[in-house]
Chain A
Amino acid sequence: NAGVTQTPKFQVLKTGQSMTLQCAQDMNHEYMSWYRQDPGMGLRLIHYSVGAGITDQGEVPNGYNVSRSTTEDFPLRLLSAAPSQTSVYFCASSYGGRADWGLDTQYFGPGTRLTVL
């Protein structure tokens, strides 16, 4: 299994540009989410999905869109990039809502470092 993969690893955008951060997992996980990591802030939840066709907002959703057309993929779209969106973005997945604690671990992708000029 490749686990959770993210592309690209690095990206530089100009203010106002749009782009999509890709996230895919091959573990048949129902739950997927996006976090952003800023210096000195830890990770904060942007959006999440509990299954194909179902998404919801997290703690810091403004400026981002998501969709979940398949179980495997959960792309994050920046509609009009702003310097405040300069951050490292992590995608995570898990089986979601299972009673078996051992299946409940969230697995993180390697992250995408985004710079908005």
Chain B
Amino acid sequence: AQTVTQSQPEMSVQEAETVTLSCTYDTSESDYYLFWYKQPPSRQMILVIRQEAYKQQNATENRFSVNFQKAAKSFSLKISDSQLGDAAMYFCAYRSPYHTQGGSEKLVFGKGTKLTVNP
């Protein structure tokens, strides 16, 4: 079974600075998908960024980018120019290819990293 580990329960960053959240995963599959979700105090789960394992290029969405190291099974999230609105829980998640799960699109989540942004 796949597992996702987020080794930093809490992180803090100064406004306008850069922070990197770590995520490692364990899998025997060669094709899969990785995600970062943001959960602000409102509880809403918001997709931040996603990465297909077969793509060499790291995904980027505005101030958010990932460092995907497939051999090391590492998927870190970098937030540049941090803003107060970035304060939230961040979850890393793994998903197997659709065809290997009998229709399930089960996401395997890490335990989360709480990010605090200091003004």
Contact = CB atoms under 8 A, between A and B. Distances in A.
Contacts, number: 65
A58 B109 CA distance: 14
A91 B113 CA distance: 22
Contact of B104 (A41, A43, A58, A111): A58
Question: B interface, how many residues as a size bin?
Answer: 20 to 34
Contact of B111 (A42, A105, A111): A42
Interface residues of A, number: 29
A53 interface: no
Contacts of A110: 42-44
A41 B104 CA distance: 20
A33 interface: yes
A99 B43 CA distance: 30
A50 B91 contact: no
Contacts of B37: 108
A106 B107 contact: yes
B43 A45 contact: no
5 contacts: A42-B111, A43-B109, A94-B105, A97-B103, A110-B42
